[in-house]
Amino acid sequence: MTKVREGLLGPSYVYHRRLIEESKSWSPEEIQEYQETRFRPLIGRYGDEVRQKEDYRQSLRRYSRWDVPLLTHTVRTGGTSGQPLRFRADTFARRQKERAYLFDIWSHIGYAPHDLRVCYRGEVHDDLVRFNRLENVWLVSPSATLEQDLGQLRQWIRTLPPFFLHVYASSLVTFIDLVGEGLFRSLPIRGVLAGSEAFPVGEQARFEQEFGIQVAHWYGHSEYAALAYCCRKCHGFHFYPTYGRVELLASETEGCRRIVASSFNRIGTQFVRYDTGDLAVPPSGNCAADHFPRAGDIVGRSQETFIDRAGRRRALGPYLFGIHGPFWDQIRDLQVVQDEPGLLRVRLVTKPAADRTLIQRTLERRMPMAGLEFEYVRAIERSPNGKRRYFVDGAQCVVPEVKPSELDSEAQSEEAPRLQSWQWMAAAAVVLAAVVVVMSFLIMGTGGGPTIARAHRARDPIVNVKAPTHPRIVRDESNGNLRILAGAVLAERRHLVV
């Protein structure tokens, strides 16, 4: 059954899963040959200089290939180093490829495609928990984990069958604190999936030893140019050679090297010799796992915490950098300052004609456990190397002057590219294949979630949901309290988002 479900994940998924398995037995020479045949054309097309985020902001069209409607779409980075970067990504093959590599990383601790997950990351929604049938994952909303809701969260999570816990490295500690350490130890957690941030030194090993739960940890970034898994043998990071090409170049930080990556994606924005802004420690010794390019450790990714009104320490990342939609279109930069427990001062550099009401409502909805004050400034202080901390614990920030030309440069770089008639024709050619892929996902079974049948009424869609084997938490509109639903078929008024 697992092979059948993997086949439904799409042709790109199947291709990359096979490629990953083949590459694990490659020699260093074979890896170099594979990468050079894909890297040389990129250098011939774009040149061999090292590029920064600003190069792509100013010349996005130059680095984008096959950028046509439906075939590509706009993607934003998380914004941990400042204003998110917008670029173009493959609509169909990219997601299949990402699943192939992530599932391989997760398989190191026993995960198989469509195993049940509980995700506590940056997904914010109105309910305390929400089930995603296509991914077979329960999404716990960080903004809904207020003190009065924790009892319901703990009661619900006790009912779950064995699952994998999907978190940020920083939000793992917060999740344990929310449910309570005693309850956490009793949960049937099969493993922890933790990416996007680095663990503090020794923290992953201490967690695994103390709780007896294995962790699958990896390094990647939103530009899809480099991906590495944390090896359970050498505890360093192995970069997948078929995902992209990585160079470790000299940096100003003693003992560290810059991670410069080149993506092998052929559709959308191509990142070539792209400075990721992250630092790596060079590897020491050899590892018998494979001959992949390695780093001893990944450093330079911050994980900041704040104290809420109840005195509870929470990771800032899940609340701030999981934001999608129009929010980032309104601002150029932001910084969060905590001057006292329970109170956060959000410093914002907005774009012209920004909707401040939208900005404030978005953040207030995501972070109801702390008081928010909004400060609109012209610029946020940078360090000598051009970066700035997105979280400051009680620090005083100096606001430098910004030239009007600097405020307008980004808006000019975001001009939409013109589309020629042949591009529209090429886009139409992929629609049929897209429909096949989408239908495959819609008919795919999951091992731990509900089955859904659509029922339509004029202007009032009703979704009949067959109750899963474990209860769901919903909010009672009559009194605002949370309650657990279980048993027979539930009728819920909502729109499906696929």
Tokens 């970069």 label which residue? 239
Report strand pairing: 257-263 vs 268-269: unpaired
- Long-range CB contacts for residues 353-360, cutoff 8 Å, separation at least 24: 354/330, 355/330, 356/330, 358/326, 358/327, 358/330, 359/327, 359/330, 359/331
Overall average pLDDT of the 152-173 stretch: 92
Distance CA 463, CA 452 (A): 7
Overall average pLDDT of the 262-279 stretch: 93
Predicted TM-score of the model (pTM):
0.69
Distance CA 335, CA 381 (A): 10
Tokens 């997948």 label which residue? 240
pLDDT for 279 equals 85
DSSP tag of 378:
S
Distance CA 241, CA 437 (A): 27
**How would residue 330 be classed by pLDDT, with cut points 50, 70 and 90?**
confident
Distance CA 295, CA 279 (A): 10
Query: Helix (H, G, I), strand (E, B), or coil: what is residue 363?
Result: helix
Angle of helix 93-106 versus helix 11-23 axis, rounded to 10: 40
Distance CA 103, CA 227 (A): 13
pLDDT over 70 (residue 262): yes
Task: Output the CA torsion sign for 161, 162, 164, 166.
Answer: positive
pLDDT for 77 equals 79
Average pLDDT, the chain: 78
Count Cα neighbours of 237 within 13 Å in the Cβ-side half-sphere. Answer: 23
**How would residue 261 be classed by pLDDT, with cut points 50, 70 and 90?**
very high
pLDDT over 80 (residue 33): yes
Output the CA angle 191-193-195, nearest 5 degrees. Answer: 160
Q: What's the pLDDT tens digit per position in 106-139?
A: 999 999 999 999 999 877 677 889 999 989 999 9
Distance CA 168, CA 120 (A): 8
If one compares 311 and 56, the residue with the highest pLDDT of the two is 56
Identify residue 290 by its one-letter amino acid code: D
Would you state the torsion angle of the CA atoms of residues 220, 117, 446, 4, taken in this order, to the nearest 10 degrees?
A: 40
Q: How far does CA 496 lie from the centroid of its chain?
A: 22
Distance CA 313, CA 273 (A): 38
Angstrom distances, CA of residue 44 to CA of 10, 38, 47, 273: 31, 11, 6, 12
State both tokens at 413. Answer: 């770089």
- DSSP line for 16-37: HHHHHHHHTT--HHHHHHHHHH
pLDDT for 335 equals 87
pLDDT over 90 (residue 396): no
If one compares 303 and 462, the residue with the highest pLDDT of the two is 303
Overall average pLDDT of the 467-492 stretch: 47
Distance CA 96, CA 11 (A): 8
pLDDT for 371 equals 93
State both tokens at 359. Answer: 């900005």
Distance CA 306, CA 342 (A): 8
pLDDT over 70 (residue 360): yes
Phi-psi region of 45 (alpha: psi -120 to 50; beta: other; left: phi over 0): alpha
Diameter of the chain by CA atoms? 67
Report strand pairing: 189-195 vs 163-168: parallel
Overall average pLDDT of the 351-378 stretch: 91
Overall average pLDDT of the 257-286 stretch: 92
CB neighbours (10 Å) of residue 33? Answer: 11
Distance CA 101, CA 269 (A): 20
Q: What's the pLDDT tens digit per position in 175-217?
A: 998 899 999 999 999 999 998 777 766 778 889 999 999 999 9
Angstrom distances, CA of residue 462 to CA of 135, 170, 450, 495: 22, 38, 16, 8
State both tokens at 23. Answer: 């590459």
**How would residue 476 be classed by pLDDT, with cut points 50, 70 and 90?**
low
Ordered domains of the chain (ranges, CATH): 2-299 (3.40.50.12780), 325-413 (3.30.300), 422-492 (no CATH)
pLDDT for 449 equals 38
Q: What's the pLDDT tens digit per position in 68-101?
A: 888 999 888 765 555 678 899 999 899 999 999 9
pLDDT for 200 equals 66
